[in-house]
Amino acid sequence: MTALTLGQILETEQLTVALTTLTEADVEALVAVEKLAYSHPWSLGNFRDAFKAGNLAQGLKAGDQWVGYFVAMQVLDEVHLLNITVAPTFQRQGWARCLLQSLSLWSQAHQASSLWLEVRESNVRALKLYQSFGFEQVGLRKDYYPVGRSSREAAVVMRMALNSTQ
């Protein structure tokens, strides 16, 4: 899978996918994908707040179907990945890596020196993906994510340094 810049199209044997900017008009469809992908999905309010804050929000779309998307926030020279989701039917096909590559390119173009994220300690697949992409664990936030109604789990804090040669 390759990195896409906004408006670019990638054709595979199965689909034609374009990287697009997410808008408020997409929120209900994104929430539907969230509910399929996560036990504790982002809500309508989370997405609306992200749009109001002016966060970067881009997604991969095949026709009228969302393949995946991310929401990120730039603070000075750091970019924080707030949400990355790939629809369950498109998982394990390289789309998360494509999204990360696109975010990395955008971040470098906007003079960011590093990318940051938090991921559930139990999300082994995501941890492996992030590590293979160049993220390193720099901390642990205890009791960060809800698990069920009464317990919580830690978030692994990860950082990836960016440079012009990446």
Q: Which residues participate in catalysis according to the annotation?
A: 118, 130
Tokens at 82, concatenated: 């707030």
Convert 101-120 to b/e letters by CB count within 10 Å (16 or more is b).
Answer: bbbbbbbbeeebebbbbbbb
CA angle 159, 165, 166 (to 5 degrees): 45
